Structure 1
Amino acid sequence: MLNSVIVVDDEASIRAAVEQWLSLSGFNVQLFERAEECLAQLPAHFTGVVISDVRMPGMSGLQLLDRLQQADPDLPVILLTGHGDVPMAVEAMRNGAYDFLEKPFTPQHLMGSLRRALEKRQLVLENRRLHEQADLKAQLESTLLGMSQGLQQLRRQVLELASLPVNVLIRGETGSGKERVARCLHDFGPRADKPFVALNCAAIPETLFEAELFGHESGAFTGAQGKRIGKLEYANGGTVFLDEIESMPLAQQAKLLRVIQEQKLERLGANQSIAVDLRIIAATKPDLLEEARAGRFREDLAYRLNVAELRLAPLRERREDIPLLFEHFARTAAERLGRHCPSVSGGRLAQLLAHDWPGNVRELANAAERHALGLDSPNLESLPGGQSLGEQMEAFEAQCLRAALRQHKGEIKGVMEALQLPRRTLNEKMQRHGLVREDFLGNE
């Protein structure tokens, strides 16, 4: 239950009495003598109720109400009025005030009005939260594309972890989309307006690694001209994405561990520590604990990085996502190049589903761009498939069902006619492939 209350009144006796009543009832009370002070110190996302006198020196309670409504139209404001101010307070309620209490008022009247206002506030905030979650879910679905159960689970995990202040380890093969997932963890969390710094540990020469991560002071080493801010310091308040973390030199692993533990770093050639607030997201292909057992990675750092782990399935393990991804990449490439995107034939789709995609999503995106240019590779169908004929037919059937549902916006009768299937057979196939008509309602 929400319990934050702001009281604004220029009479010290009123403030003291209201504070005593509310504090004894378990409310968290903040007092202000003037409306200007309240506005200056009001939290950006205040979740409680404001109680304000109407007549005060400087800004009046009605002016305060107007300013508060501009910031948050749903913030409940209870006005305290003298006898002559009642008509004015009634008019204020028409303009958005939650309630008014005529002085002198009893603790019971104040408590009753306040509890009702807080209950309304709680409902409004919960409704907002649900709308925000739905918006985030829709945005994430358009960023991490796929209908497979693995992708749906990944999106749920990303939404859960994005708001949590924990380090995350992402495991996946080359081209599986590790950086995109890391970016989503940043963009859908509270650090979204702070820097996102991506670093490929395998691409930095070992001799430059420390300077790149931690920065340096002027003259720290030969050629160090001027002070340089390192990547970790630059990312202060935001997120650092360390791709191929298994390639980080052992000496730098020890220093990174210290930064994670102490939230402090030192530039090369400096004696002063710099406080940093960082979230570390690391990505790796091999198991870091196996790397640690082989002496190639620090075990203590592996545990620090792997507070939460996300595993990205290779494309060959989620073939039902291939048609959707291919269509998206091909359409995006065609729009960028100003070309008409050619349709995908059934034979071509069968080739896409049969291919193993060792380069994963990155390889698929390249194939889709060639398709948009009319340069489909004839070698694709000769590449060995990783599925049996039955598995390929299942994947193709799922795509046909999904395309028909999307075309008819979830309208079952239209899907039955398009695919020439009886209702019972269609229901069985949809259930087997995990398709729900509600997911396609209103979709183009």
Structure 2
Amino acid sequence: MTLTRILVADDEESMRWVLSKALKRKGFTVDLADDGRQALALIQENSYDLAILDIKMPGMSGLDLLDRIREMKSDLLVVIMTAEASMKNAVEAMKRGAYDYITKPFDLDVIDAIVEKVGRAREIAGQVSLLKQELKEHYQVEKNIIGNSAAMQSIYKTIGKVADSDITILIQGESGTGKEMVARAIHFNSGRLGKPFVAINCAAIPRDLLESELFGSERGAFTGASERKQGKFEQANQGTIFLDEIGDMPLDLQAKILRVLQEHEVTRVGGTQSIAVNVRIVAATNQELQERVRQREFREDLYYRLNVVPITLAPLRERRDDIPELVRYFLDRTCTELSIPPKQLTPEAMALLSRHSWPGNVRELENTIKRAVILSNDPMLTEADFDGLQPEGEETAMTPQDASLEAIVEAKLRSCLTGIEKLDKSDIHAKVLQQVERPLIRFILEKTRWNQVKAADILGINRNTLRKKIHDLEIELKRG
């Protein structure tokens, strides 16, 4: 970014003349002001690349003018001139946001060097600004998180509301729903764009190594620690740290995460010195943290500090309307990455994909599309290319950790109620409810050691209602 227009403000006419002549000889357009107020008026009317201001001027000092410039034109670089070579002036000028300062009298070579340095700084700033814009465009929510369902529209709105703040976010959802993608969208649409985004999976790192990964370690802190190591929090300074699967974090480390949230500092393993960090925390989990809090496996105080703004991602089976758009997105992206001609799906293949329950969510869908594209030589993918998927009406094998309770119940009902037209429809609702309600109440009673008052409170029903259900459902009571 080349410098073109410079403002010089000084109450000494001789200084204005010398600087104007020297700068114009270099090809710059130069405007002159003999006091701070005139300089402010020129800045309000024109666009400048650099302002060279005397520190002492009538009406408004150079430092006061610098404050006004910072308020209205933060990208204008300012050099302060002072006849007093005191540390106080230098410190005050830099503290208020001056790019540099020079002491009178000075050689014109000094001005040449400063102008050249300012030119390089503006060029770098322009490149950084362009890079930030490219990053922001690359990570625009609508480009990277696919879906127009009501559930996804709600997510987009939340991201838009919270991105520019430094508020702590807790993203919840099953594995494969895109929690890290949402975390990245929050970071790259925030004021921390251009700063580090550091992700760490708390469940993937052995327990005894997780602390040093998060907080760093000093040399000799443990066997194999041959040198000082920065932790993820230090690496993410000024940026965002994404703590994935935080529900699996050991309790002792949870206390240290809470300290980071409260004190904004970390201590390396084996160290004694606190290190200040300015980091935004975005956490994610596929677990029910409230349940883990009740089981005393997750700190309640940390849960409430993380859960300032909760974002819950719906599983793919609950937003099936998004599946065709996701399929086309992954299909186009895979073909582009592999440098092969575009492929399409038959309507029957798309219908099969839309009916599948996708226990692995978006990640499973993406891998399924990749596999089909790689293995098929045809430009049109058919049902045969997705041989592993089950058609509608058949129970899909799911494990409890892969699917929600609702999905498991739905799959079981599909299996049990095959041939529904032959069933007695007069009591099917009551029978199904009994079979779901009986194990639920029995489970809660067992957890509360058969204390009916506590069980009723957990279930959210009246104690007399619970007593009636125990009788009607023929639940055998045991002593706690």
TM-score, shorter chain, exceeding 0.5: yes
Give the drift of 1:8: 6.6
Tell me which amino acid in the other structure corresponds to 1:273.
S
Aligned-pair CA distance for 1:49: 10
Distance 1:336 1:20, change over 3 A: closer
Measured at CA, do residues 274 and 340 of structure 1 come closer, stay the same or move farther in structure 2, by a change above 3 Å? Answer: same
How far apart are 1:343 and its partner, in Å? 1.7
Instruction: Note if 1:46 corresponds to 2:73.
Output: yes
Structure 1 counterpart of 2:292, which letter?
A: E
| 1-structure distance, mates of 2:146, 2:152 | 8
**Counterpart in 1 of 2:367?**
366
Distance 1:284 1:45, change over 3 A: farther
What letter is aligned with 1:33? D
Alignment-derived partner of residue 204 in structure 1: 205
When residues 212 and 149 of structure 1 are mapped into structure 2, their CA distance, relative to the original with a 3 A threshold, is: same
1:33 aligns with 2:54: yes
1:403 is matched with which residue? none
Aligned to 1:266: 267
Structure 1: segments with no counterpart, 5+ residues? 1-6, 22-29, 51-56, 73-131, 389-444
Residues in 1 aligned to 2:370 and 2:276: alpha-carbon distance in whole angstroms? 45
Letter in 1 for 2:171: I
What displacement does 1:32 show? Answer: 3.6
1:378 corresponds to: 387
Residue 368 of structure 1, CA deviation: 1.1
Q: How does 1:56-205 map to 2 (within 5 A)?
A: 139-205=140-206
Q: Aligned ranges for residues 270-285 of structure 1 at < 5 Å?
A: 270-285=271-286
Does the 8 Å CA contact 1:355/1:384 hold for their aligned counterparts? Answer: no
Does the 8 Å contact 1:265/1:274 carry over to 2?
yes
Distance 2:373 2:40 in 1: 72
The one-letter code sitting in structure 1 at the alignment partner of 2:215 is F
Is the 1:146–1:321 Cα contact (8 Å) retained in structure 2?
yes
2:418 corresponds to: none
User: What's the secondary structure of 1:197's corresponding residue?
Assistant: strand
Moved more, 372-381 or 319-328: 372-381
> Residues 45 and 16 from structure 1, CA distance in 2 versus in 1: closer, same or farther, beyond 3 angstroms?
closer
Which secondary structure does the structure 1 equivalent of 2:195 belong to? coil
Q: Sort the Cα spacing of 1:206 and 1:17 in 2 relative to 1 into closer, same or farther, 3 A.
A: closer
Pair 1:18–1:246, CA change in 2 (3 A) = same
Partner residue in 1 for 2:242: 241
Rounded to whole Å, the distance in 2 between the matches of 1:143 and 1:189 is: 16
Q: CA deviation at 1:17?
A: 7.0
The 1:138/1:250 distance shift into structure 2, 3 A limit, reads closer
Cα distance in 2 between the residues matched to 1:268 and 1:48:
41
Q: Which residue of 2 aligns with 1:99?
A: none
Report the residue type matching 2:332 in the other structure. R
- TM-score for the superposition, normalised by structure 1: 0.60
**What is the alpha-carbon root mean square deviation over aligned residues?**
4.1
Q: How do 1:275-354 residues align onto structure 2 when only pairs under 5 Å count?
A: 275-354=276-355
Cα distance in structure 1, aligned partners of 2:40 and 2:342: 71
* Deviation by residue 1:124-182 (Cα, 9 ceiling, x = unmatched): xxxxxxxx9xx869932111111112212212211221111111000010100001111
| Residue 40 (structure 1) shift | 9.4
The TM-score normalised by the length of structure 2 is 0.55
> Structure 1's 283 and 171: CA in aligned 2 closer, same or farther, altered over 3 A?
same
Identity of paired residues, percent?
41
Shift of 1:33: 2.3
Distance in 2 of aligned mates of 1:265 and 1:143? 33
Task: Give the whole-Å Cα distance in 1 for the aligned partners of 2:280 and 2:269.
Answer: 22
Supply the distance in 2 between the matched residues of 1:20 and 1:352 (Cα, whole angstroms).
Answer: 64
Hey, what does 1:431 align to over in structure 2?
none
Instruction: Provide the C-alpha distance between the structure 2 equivalents of 1:267 and 1:138, rounded to a whole number of angstroms.
Output: 33
Query: Compared with structure 1, are the counterparts of its residues 212 and 45 closer, same or farther at alpha carbon in structure 2 (3 Å cutoff)?
Result: farther
Q: CA deviation at 1:363?
A: 0.7
Distance 1:20 1:187 in 2: 35
Structure 2's unaligned 5+ residue stretches are 1-6, 13-32, 42-50, 78-105, 124-132, 377-383, 397-406, 412-480
The answer as to whether partners of 2:289 and 2:298 remain within 8 angstroms in 1 is yes
CA distance in 1, matches of 2:52, 2:224: 58
Amino acid at match of 1:376: D
SS at match of 1:155: helix
C-alpha contact 2:216 2:269 (8 A) present in aligned 1: yes
Contact 1:356 1:384 in 2 (8 A): no
CA distance in 2, matches of 1:235, 1:341: 39
Structure-2 separation of matches of 1:258 and 1:328: 42
Deviations 1:181-220 (CA, angstroms, capped at 9, x unpaired)? 1111111111121111111111111111211111111111
Distance of 1:306 and 1:43 partners within structure 2: 36
CA distance in 2, matches of 1:259, 1:322: 40
Once residues 145 and 323 of structure 1 are traced to their aligned partners in structure 2, the CA distance between those partners, rounded to angstroms, is 10
Deviation of the 1:222 alpha carbon: 2.5
Q: Relative to 1, partners in 2 of residues 1:173 and 1:232: Cα closer, same or farther, differing over 3 Å?
A: same
